[in-house]
Each structure stands twice: as C-alpha cells, then as structure tokens.
Structure 1
Amino acid sequence: MSKKDNIFGIYPVLEAIKSDTEIDKVYLIKDSGNDKLASIEKKLQNKHVTVNHVPVEKLNRLTNGNHQGVVAVTSPISFVGLEELIESAIASKKTPLFLVLDQISDVRNFGAIIRTAECTGVDGIIIQKKGGAPITGDTVKTSAGAIFKMPICKVDHIKDAIYYLQGSGIKTVAATEKTEKDLYSVSFTEPMALIMGSEGKGISHSVLKLVDEQAALPLLGEINSLNVSVACGAFLYELVRQRNKKH
C-alpha cells in the first residue's frame, strides 16, 4: 500500500467524505472513545465503506504524519453498480463474461487478475466491500493500467451477486480444487461468471453451494494449489479457447 494513496487526520478524512472522494477502505484506531472518530465511522457506514479497527502501530505504518487515529485509503477509480454492470454487458454482447472475486486479499494478485481479465474480454469484475484487497497504487501498477479500462463493482455480499447473475441468465462457475471435475470438461461458451476464491481459504462454502458448476485445474506436481492470479489466467484462457473455437 502506497502512503500517497492515503488521507489521514480527522478533519481531512471528514472533508474527503463530505466531498464524495472515492474512499476504498478506512482504518480507525481500536477502542479510542473519540466522538469525532465515532462520527466518521457512522458517516462511512451510511456510504457502505469498509472500516477496519486496528492498533496504532498499523496506522503508524500507513502514514508518517499525525493520523489522529484515522487513515483513509482512496481509490483511483470509480465503481459501477451491479445492476448497471450486468445490464450493460448483456445489452452489448451475446455472451457476456464476468469475474467474481471472493475476497482476494493481495493487491498484486488483484492487479494481475485485472490485467488478465482485460486481455481476455471480461466485461466486469465483482468484488465484496469487506475483506478484499484495497485498490492502491500497487494494484494499478500490477494491472499495467488495465484497471482504468475494467468496470469494477463492489457488493455487500458475494452471494447476493451470485443470485442476481443467475436471475439474469448468467451461468456461474466456481474455480475450486474441491471438485473432481476439471475445467476442460466444462462449457464456457454461454453467458457466464467465473468465481475465484481467496489466496488462503478459496471460495467460501456458502458461495460454493450456490453456483451452477464447479471446476478444478489438473495439478500434476506435489504442490496442491496455484497462485490465484495464475489459476485465474488458466481458466480465462480456456474460456477464450472454447469461445474462439465456437466461432
């Protein structure tokens, strides 16, 4: 996380909220008892911004300045709404493609995924407001600028996005090692959303129960998992292969 992406101090953060600056995440000092910090948290809840309560050492690492118990991480992009994202893609393409990230936590993995998604024709990326990687300078750099070309939507719960996608006629496929079915036996030629899980836990069990299909990458070595951005690339290029073959 780059320190230049941060706004710190009570009044600067309040001004950022007031001016509708695109705030990705806010860190508040734990157990402060400060009324002004409590006011900031309340305003952020109304805007559905993720708030993390952290020890002072974390805040000290985020900025060299007088943070007064609060640091806001700004986003270099604006987000789109779920309904707008899906309706726009369906209207413009016969076989839209969405990528759903279930709490990817590493900003560089996130950036690499965005870059691959842009190169493979993904129409939009859906992430959860809480628990995922913030969009920082490192994300932008790793994406090689693709983040400015890729619509990104934040939702309260991944499950709600799955329901909405399915209700819109979009097939949902989870990339998971918890299935015997490999990705080469799954059809990716119809409108679909690919769901990728977090680096440590993979896709949450509650999400796995909802999807239409599950698929795994064949792993021939002794290590039982791939880096999530590498796995995502393998899935997306199998999808490209199938769709190009169809045409």
Structure 2
Amino acid sequence: MAKISSKGQITFPARWMKIMGGVATGEWLFFHIQHANQIVYITKDSGHSDSCAQLLGQNFLTIPSDVRKWFKIQPGDDLKFGYDANREAVYFKKRQVLLTCPVCNELGSIGELPCFVCEETGSVEKEPWLNEITRLMMKSRSYNVSLSIIGHERVQENQAPVQLLVPKIQLVSSTYSTAILETIQDYYQGRVIREAIEDGSLNVQEYKTEIVSMLRTDFEKDSLEAWLSANS
C-alpha cells in the first residue's frame, strides 16, 4: 500500500521494485492503463504505454496527472499493489471502500451457484456504476454470464433506434435463472437511474413512469419509489 501525497507522489514500496528486478534512481517507469480492470501496470518497458515518470530519490514516484485524473486519485488516497503472473508485471489500483455484496449478502454464493457480482468474495468495492459494470463485463464471462449496456433501442421495427433516457443493463445466462438475473439486473439499473438523477442528467418529474418501467422486480420498483419520495 502507498499513500498519495499533495504533489501526486508515492513512496514506491521496495518489495514491488524488487519484483520488477530492481529500479534505480532516475530510471524511467512506464504506466499502462487497463480501463476494463481499473488497474495500471508499471513496467520498465515503454511499449504502448500511456504515461511515464522517473523514480526520484528516496524512492519517490510521481503518478502522472492523466492517470490520477482517470482514476480520480486524490491526495491521501491509498494505492494497492499486486502482481499479474500472466503478464509478469506489477500493477496498482486505487483502494476503494469495501461494501457487503448487495446480491449474496456476504455469502459468496446465490443459492447453490457462485455469486459473480463479488466473484465469490462476499464484498464489492464502492465505485461508480460504470466502473463496476465495466469490470463485471469482463469477469462475468467466466461464470457464463453475458452483460450488455444498451444506449439505443428500436421502439418500432420500421423506425431507427432511439436514445434511451439512461443506459439499459441486460444480463443473459444459461446457468442462472431468470429470477436471479432480473434481481441483479435491477440492482444495477437502479444504480444507473439514481446516479443520473443525482447528477442532474435525468428529469425524474418528467420521466418518472418511463424510469420505473425500466425495472423488472417489484422489490426494486418499490425501493426506487421510496428513494424518490425521500429525495424529492
């Protein structure tokens, strides 16, 4: 773990420099952003890198501004390091607050099936819905689940697709039941709707009926109605 300073710097942990084969003061390091996994690889290879920085004295390393901007890294945030054996590379990610998995409630499973939302850990990181969905799109494949984000939809067969009020979340799987998929789908759809209302991009007074109709389960419809009443 390393903490970001007010100058956007960290003290690069010696353990990870050793894994990289040692890094000398003044040596250039290269940052490779992996948007899908929300991680950044640090290598001594410049190939297809997004940014670079020199290792300074006392093992200080400045995290490039574009990397900090993309991951919303602020002074005081912690970076969590790891090692990808497949790529043989060190990586870091912003440490997020851990929450109880809203689907399996810390069990790591849904009935007799593994919970793909938390990858069977029982907890999820607190992050914007788009970041979580992007990560989940990659990870859910190994659980035989296909996840899509739909921005446009055809209202009538002979008409061009129209833009939806908010992105539509769709889950398909031959392993998980329709009831399970609709519950998880509604959880994310509800998050999309709430964040759109909170940031002012969705007028709830004008489109309330259409918004609620995007949900499948009575539980999530009632939950959204209660949230709208509390925040009106």
Scaled by the length of structure 1, the TM-score of the pair is 0.29
Identify which of structures 1 and 2 has the higher relative contact order when contacts are C-alpha pairs closer than 8 Å and 6+ apart. 1
Q: Which has the higher strand share?
A: 2
Scaled by the length of structure 2, the TM-score of the pair is 0.30
